Structure 1
Amino acid sequence: MAKIPKPPRSIPTKRTLPTHSSLPLHKQKPQSPHSQFAAEPLLQTPEGTPRGNWQRAWSERPKLSAFPRLSDEELKSAQHQAKLRRWRQWPMFGIGMMAFGLGTYGSMLYVSLNKDVEHKELPADLSDRFDKEAEGYDEKVDLAETLLFLTSKRKKLTAQAKGHVLEVAVGTGRNIAYYKTKHCATVTLLDSSGPMLAVTKRKWVDTHKEYFSRVFFKQQSGLDPIVPPYGAQDGYDTVIQTMGLCSTPEPVKLLQNIEACTNESGRILLLEHGKSHYDWLNDLLDKTAPAHADEHGCWWNKDIGKIVEESGLEVVKMQRYNFGTTWWLELKPRKGMRKGLAGRIAEEEAPVGQAEPPVTQKASWSPWRW
């Protein structure tokens, strides 16, 4: 039996809408003389543009007239009045809880500031506090730094680092995520606390693993002579310190020691906290400073401006935030002072009775040096 051939498949064509001119005359509607001008706004703001979408959404918004209005009898009904009372209870409950919390906090703050605090002699070196708080330090200060908007300031300050970079009092490495490593030849991270430096090392591996061969981790005090790495015999190009002057017993010496290892054309960037513009806030800081230092190893009532003035460093830029307690400082080393300060520091570190100053050995570079 012969097969019946299949009919050829027809190619579908696009259906086009009839235009106004293609319609029969009895179906064409007369155009108004203003129809051309009425279409101009649509041509200026087509539906695909953000402005057109916004206008369409605004025109389709629900109007108050669309909602059914209750009659006077329904508004006075017991059911509606009970519903209104329930709605009013929640805002009043929230306001009451907020007032109770603020009152409790204010009472506790008043009692803590007016009670007699047991004064005890604190040692000059409080670095052991940092050793104990290394693992949980970030969680303790996260909330305070967020409320004071310090995170954005850390990011802005660290992003300016370039060349051979030194960060003094690096702590747990709260600035590591903001380093632009492509602009850095080497990065030296220095801190006297071994546990905190260990946290810093873990953060660096997690954040800049590909740059690990050009980073140096030094566990030493910032008051000791700092030797720049190989290739930076003229000193560091950028030195960063955030919240470090508060935890050192000799802040003026620390700044001069930083100046001694900085290139004469380099920059010293500081983000510190200390005294305020206002006397009432300074009295509060002075009263609570011993207890805060005993717990966290930080004296938050130091006069940062006076410390910088006594150090002799040139101030390029200074800004203050948070009632003046947060200090942003950009300093510049003095010309011809690097060699003199380095020699003086070496003499202070030399043993008593030594006839000749010690010979400074050239630091050897190694990718695994920390």
Structure 2
Amino acid sequence: MSFLSRFSRTQLIIGGLLTYATGVSAALTFLPSSSSPDKKDGNGSFPSETTRQSTFDSLAPGYDKEVGMHEYLLGIQRRRKRLVAQATGRVLEIASGTGRNVDYYKKGCCDEIVFSDFSEGMMKVLREKVEGSDLGKRWDYQKRRVQQLELERIAHHSTRLVQVQGQGVPPGAVGGVTDGSGSTAGDGVVETEIRFKTMNAAAIPYPDQSFDTVVDTFGLCSFEDPVQVLREMKRVLKPSGRLLLLEHGNSHWEFMKNMQAKQLDRHVHKYGCYWNREIGELVREAGLKVVEQERSQLGTVFYIIAE
């Protein structure tokens, strides 16, 4: 009996996936990039926000292909789905990137979703993805259905007006107009309005207490001033609102912390991502209260719900 024959097919598949995931993680952590790790911008510092914005623009077309398998094998997609499923009401998604959360918004979950990013390249991919998604198709249908009902309402109103005028009833006496089925036009149409906003998250262009939910997945690692961004998120949340975070951060394992620090320069230049920030401390510094937190992937992935 061979060594492999001792295991079931399921066990082999799971083992293979775990081995692959470990290899991918190790490659991202340990292997040098094609560019020099000491490469700095002009004054010898980390890249500026403008430079990193350019990095995001250039990454956008191939970003999903580059990170898709990695996220799947490491369970990131499952965590995205679990997090986004809790979004309700009026939603602002910060650092939407290429729209990797789009497919996880449940039908009828939200009154409005505002997808935002400061990279035009990312926003272009995002728009195309939303248009082709189930969420986008439902939105398109809802818009067309509302328009249809409005046209039916106008036609019915006009017909009714002619009838009552023929009977000598003053036009002002025509009361509530329905769509002919006994309900007012528009009833039964569940709308999730979709909007796109290119913006700097450090100065969110919305009034205080505008949103029921703010979502940010893997955005804090890329902001110039993450605490300021978190304060802005808190500002636009309603008193009963929730902040949903899924973030890269510093590991609680010393050897992993050392690797993150060692590879930080390479990672920032390649992905525009400071992947070893102390996420919990940043959230607390911004004045937010953590109501749920989990850590995975050797403590480098933070799942946080705050208010």
What is the deviation of 1:117? 4.4
Aligned to 1:318: 293
- Answer whether contact 2:91 2:212 (CA < 8 A) is retained: yes
Amino acid corresponding to residue 38 of structure 2 in structure 1: E
Aligned to 1:342: none
What is the correspondence of 1:201-240 to structure 2 with a 5 Å cutoff? 201-207=127-133, 208=135, 209-212=137-140, 214-227=193-206, 234-240=209-215
Q: Distance in 2 between matches of 1:299 and 1:107?
A: 17
Q: Between Structure 1 and Structure 2, whose CA radius of gyration is higher?
A: 1
Aligned to 2:87: 161
Q: Distance in 2 between matches of 1:292 and 1:106?
A: 13
Q: Distance in 1 between matches of 2:77 and 2:30?
A: 30
Amino acid corresponding to residue 282 of structure 1 in structure 2: K
- Whichever structure has more helix as a proportion of its residues is 2
Q: Distance in 2 between matches of 1:174 and 1:108?
A: 20
What is the correspondence of 1:328-367 to structure 2 with a 5 Å cutoff? 328-332=303-307
Q: Deviations for 1:57-94, whole angstroms, at most 9, x for unmatched residues?
A: xxxxxxxxxxxxxxxxxxxxxxxxxxx9xx99xxxxxx
Specify every segment of 5 or more residues in structure 1 that has no aligned partner in the other structure, as ranges: 1-83, 89-97, 333-370
What is the deviation of 1:119? 5.1
Aligned to 1:151: 77
Q: Distance in 2 between matches of 1:306 and 1:186?
A: 30
Aligned to 1:176: 102
SS in 1 for 2:108: helix
- Answer whether contact 2:30 2:259 (CA < 8 A) is retained: no
SS in 2 for 1:136: helix
Q: Distance in 2 between matches of 1:187 and 1:202?
A: 16
Aligned to 1:189: 115
Q: Distance in 1 between matches of 2:47 and 2:64?
A: 25
What is the deviation of 1:111? 7.9
What is the deviation of 1:221? 1.0
Aligned to 2:243: 268
SS in 1 for 2:61: coil
Aligned to 1:339: none
Specify every segment of 5 or more residues in structure 2 that has no aligned partner in the other structure, as ranges: 4-15, 144-192
Q: Distance in 2 between matches of 1:122 and 1:163?
A: 38
- Answer whether contact 2:30 2:263 (CA < 8 A) is retained: no
- Answer whether contact 2:29 2:259 (CA < 8 A) is retained: no
SS in 1 for 2:251: coil
- Answer whether contact 1:161 1:183 (CA < 8 A) is retained: yes
Go from structure 1 to structure 2 and tell me whether the alpha carbon gap of 1:236 and 1:192 turns closer, same or farther (over 3 Å shift).
Answer: same
Aligned to 1:139: 65
TM-score, normalised via structure 2 length: 0.68
What is the deviation of 1:181? 3.7
Count of residue correspondences: 231
- Answer whether contact 1:167 1:241 (CA < 8 A) is retained: yes
Go from structure 1 to structure 2 and tell me whether the alpha carbon gap of 1:289 and 1:183 turns closer, same or farther (over 3 Å shift).
Answer: same
Aligned to 1:4: none
Q: Distance in 2 between matches of 1:122 and 1:192?
A: 19
Report sequence identity in percent.
35
Aligned with residue 38 of structure 2, among 103, 114, 118: 118
Aligned to 1:279: 254
Q: Distance in 2 between matches of 1:129 and 1:107?
A: 21
RMSD: 3.1
TM-score, normalised via structure 1 length: 0.57
What is the deviation of 1:225? 2.8
Q: Deviations for 1:254-275, whole angstroms, at most 9, x for unmatched residues?
A: 0001111110110000000111
Aligned with residue 245 of structure 1, among 203, 209, 220: 220
